[in-house]
Amino acid sequence: MTTADVWSATPTTAVLVLADGTVIEGQGLGATGQACAEVCFNTALTGYEEILTDPSYAGQIVTFTFPHIGNVGTNDEDVETVNMASASGVRGVVVKADITDPSNYRSARHFDAWLKARGIIGMSGVDTRALTALLREKGAANAVIAHSPDGQFDIDALKQAAAAWPGLVGMDLAKDVSATQSYGWSQTSWRWEQGYGEKPDGVFKVVAIDYGIKRNILRLLTDAGCDVTVLPATATAEDVLSRNPDGVFLSNGPGDPEATGEYAVPAIRGIVESGLPVFGICLGHQMLALAVNGKTTKMHQGHHGANHPVFDRTTGKVEITSMNHGFAVDAKSLPEGVEETHVSLFDGSNCGLRLVGKPVFSVQYHPEASPGPRDSHYLFRRFTNLMRERKGETVIPEKDAAA
């Protein structure tokens, strides 16, 4: 692939211009305009609506390896960002096949109209396998995605914009997708022919710090018996501890953990020092590692999909997980007293840690999935068991995976 290569499609009403000068043509869909972002690929076969509303994708353009995206439409039930009226932060989507009319009884809106309403720029007609191969070879790429119905583009200007975009390293995006004020949560998981339920009186008081939290995380915490209060990403240790919680949850989120960690890490250190049980996911996992003097690194292409095998060293079992991260914890940087608990079987990268002798643990992947398998739901039981132990109560076996 050279900077002069152009991948053509007719008629051209959208382009993806990579920072190396590569121009990919396609048909536009969704919102019009242009946006700079990092391009990554997702290998999940289902759950495109959940993926595109996951706040962890802020600042990114998602290309799907599965060719048929949008074919079952969209609905309000599958949105993962808590604020359903706002965009999650994802800036673009690239797909192969043209968007068909929805063919599912749950559909409430055509995918194209849904993208427009959320301000997401899209393009179809792209050889996404070739694009994925390019990203695997060269790594996640900075780019500009542009959609213009008249097909008129200033390619030179788009190339300059793509090359000038600084990328995700050093970028704090949690503030862009976090809640701005506290709120309570009581919704439970979706059930067939029942929809979502309510469970307002949880046994464990949990404060969840929102760095870009997903709705299904909150639902599984509620399922597990937690009375959840969500605080913004900028919450201090004093803000959290003043709620007198039984445990603290550190959420997923977008951007560079070192950038967000400038204000989040001091809060996390104060929470850990309090002795409370702590459970972190994704960005929360990375910043917990920083809080104990570990290090994080930018990955070559990241992990984005719903079929990632992870080995849990604490149980000796392998689980298939959902992942979405472009940064990772450097396992070699973890100090004495911090144990690596989970490892990716794809590349050996760190996927979990715990503090020896303390009720604190975290994982890199998404145990709540949505989309993805439910193999890792046991981690919510692990969290509540830590709170049970602190109260002197009997723990419940983790093998009962459904919290």
Q: Which fold has domain 6-164?
A: Glucose Oxidase; domain 1 (3.50.30)
Per-residue pLDDT, 2: 44
Enumerate the domain spans of the chain: 6-164, 174-391
Per-residue pLDDT, 8: 53
Residue 370 contacts residue 377 (beta carbons within 8 Å): no
Torsion of CA 318, 324, 329, 330, to 10 degrees: 80
Tokens of 192: 């067939």
Per-residue pLDDT, 4: 45
CB-based contacts of 290: which residues, under 8 Å, 6+ apart?
257, 258, 261, 265, 296
> What sign does the CA torsion over 50, 56, 61, 67 have?
negative
**pLDDT > 90? residue 85:** no
**pLDDT > 80? residue 10:** no
Q: Which residue has the higher pLDDT, 275 or 201?
A: 275
Question: Which numeric CATH code is attached to 174-391?
Answer: 3.40.50.880
Per-residue pLDDT, 83: 73
**pLDDT > 90? residue 260:** yes
Tokens of 271: 């929470």
Torsion of CA 238, 198, 369, 390, to 10 degrees: 40
- CA angle centred on 47, ends 41 and 51, rounded to 5°: 50
Q: 84 in helix, strand or coil?
A: coil
For residue 365, CA distances in Å to 5, 107, 109, 280 come to 35, 29, 30, 10
Per-residue pLDDT, 402: 38
Tell me what the pLDDT averaged over the chain comes to: 94
pLDDT (tens digit, 9 = 90+) per residue, 89-145? 899 999 999 999 999 999 999 999 999 999 999 999 999 999 999 999 999 999 999
Q: Give CA–CA dist 279/82, Å, rounded.
A: 20
Tokens of 128: 């996404």
pLDDT (tens digit, 9 = 90+) per residue, 355-366? 999 999 999 999
Q: 68 in helix, strand or coil?
A: coil
Q: Give CA–CA dist 335/179, Å, rounded.
A: 32
Q: Which of 141-155, 187-201, 237-251 has the lowest mean pLDDT?
A: 187-201
Residue 346 contacts residue 322 (beta carbons within 8 Å): no
**pLDDT > 80? residue 400:** no
**pLDDT > 50? residue 151:** yes
Give the pLDDT band (50/70/90) at residue 382: very high
Per-residue pLDDT, 89: 84
Per-residue pLDDT, 84: 58
- Helix-strand-coil split of the chain, %, nearest 5: 25, 35, 40
Q: Which residues are catalytic?
A: 282, 366, 368
For residue 360, list its beta bridge partners. Answer: 278
Q: Give CA–CA dist 303/43, Å, rounded.
A: 9
Per-residue pLDDT, 45: 95
> Considering only CA atoms, which of 233, 269, 194 is closest in space to residue 55?
233
**pLDDT > 80? residue 231:** yes
Residue ranges of alpha helices (H) inside 24-86 are 48-52
User: How deeply is 122 buried, as exposed, middle or buried, from its count of CB atoms within 10 A (0-12, 13-18, 19+)?
Assistant: buried
**pLDDT > 70? residue 6:** no
Q: What proportion of the chain, given as a percentage, has pLDDT over 70?
A: 95
N-to-C CA span, the chain: 48
Tokens of 14: 């959208």
**pLDDT > 50? residue 379:** yes
**pLDDT > 70? residue 182:** yes
What's the rounded mean pLDDT across residues 140-169? 98
Residue with tokens 């046991």: 378
